[in-house]
């Protein structure tokens, strides 16, 4: 989702968007060759192993892609004189806080995916201190698997959906995120920035809002995370503060506005 939207967001620039076949993050030689061929001003690292439960089951792959692969890209950026923007996650936090996470709050992930990203952050800041680390959360958009799409598909065959109501975060629409990343690159941003749509909700509230107009006959029932066990634990609270983004003169629309645009573009 995000990769396609990034290509659109950087339409005014020359963009090279290699696939994993051309630049497997785990292959340092492939990554360096791709970087040398392009010699870009910025490398936007949006590729990752993002299956949170899959990471829990295959930690070796998670660290190979998300941490070591990111390190390969950072070293390639240094060798080619490119700036690096790295997409990270709200899951670097443990979820025990009760107010939005700031950029300098300590990392304390509770699952393998979060650990792989947290360790990548630390590594990248050592390899290329002027990199820009963009933490985001709960991505949704066209062209890929996402929560609203799943809810809409399930609603076609189920009259009731049971959705977790005790985990809270910030839904983020990938076109809005991509435009923010482009703005940050043009501003030569560095350091850690939290980039999400404005506002927050639980998964239950996200589902209810998604189905309100499209499938109002579907009943959405709130449940606890304990009632819906998953291989990987999720933070109960992973809302990211927008203060760092606002300090750079950027603010994303409310997630409900973003969801409305997604539903119109999706056509359902």
Task: Count CA atoms closer than 13 A to 85's CA, side-chain side.
Answer: 25
3-state DSSP call for residue 139? strand
Phi, psi of 34 (to 5 degrees): -65, -40
- Can you point out the beta strands (E) in 203-252? 219-223
DSSP annotation of 198 reads: B
Q: Which residues are catalytic?
A: 113
H or E element in which residue 26 lies: none
3-state secondary structure of 252: coil
Helical (H) or strand (E) element with 86: strand 83-89
Distance CA 182, CA 118 (A): 23
CA distance 172 to 157: 26
SS3 state of residue 106:
coil
Q: Are 178 and 139 in contact (CB under 8 A)?
A: no
Residue 44 near residue 186, CB atoms below 8 Å: no
Query: Is the C-alpha dihedral spanning 130, 84, 139, 60 positive or negative?
Result: negative
| 125 Cβ neighbours under 8 A, 6+ residues apart | 131, 133
């Amino acid at each position: 989702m995000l990769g396609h939207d990034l290509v659109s967001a950087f339409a005014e620039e020359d963009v090279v968007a290699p696939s994993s076949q051309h630049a497997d993050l785990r292959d340092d030689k492939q990554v360096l060759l791709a970087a040398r061929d392009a010699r870009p001003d910025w490398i936007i690292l949006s590729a990752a192993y993002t299956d949170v439960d899959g990471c829990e089951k295959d930690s070796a792959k998670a660290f190979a892609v998300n941490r070591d692969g990111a390190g390969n890209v950072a070293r390639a950026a240094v060798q080619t004189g490119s700036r690096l923007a790295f997409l990270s996650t709200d899951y670097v936090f443990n979820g025990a806080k009760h107010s939005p996470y700031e950029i300098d709050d300590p990392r304390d992930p509770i699952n393998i995916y979060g650990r792989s990203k947290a360790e990548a952050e630390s590594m990248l800041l050592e390899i290329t201190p002027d990199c820009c680390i963009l933490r985001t959360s709960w991505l949704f958009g066209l062209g890929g698997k996402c929560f609203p799409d799943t809810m809409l598909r399930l609603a076609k065959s189920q009259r009731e959906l049971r959705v977790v109501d005790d985990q809270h975060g910030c839904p983020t629409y990938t076109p809005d995120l991509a435009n923010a990343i482009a703005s940050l690159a043009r501003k030569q941003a560095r350091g850690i920035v939290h980039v999400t749509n404005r506002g927050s909700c639980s998964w239950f509230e996200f589902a209810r809002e998604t189905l309100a107009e499209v499938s109002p006959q579907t009943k959405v029932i709130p449940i606890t995370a304990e009632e819906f066990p998953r291989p990987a634990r999720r933070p109960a609270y992973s809302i990211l503060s927008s203060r760092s983004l606002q300090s750079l003169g950027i603010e994303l629309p409310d997630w409900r506005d973003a969801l409305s645009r997604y539903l119109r573009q999706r056509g359902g």
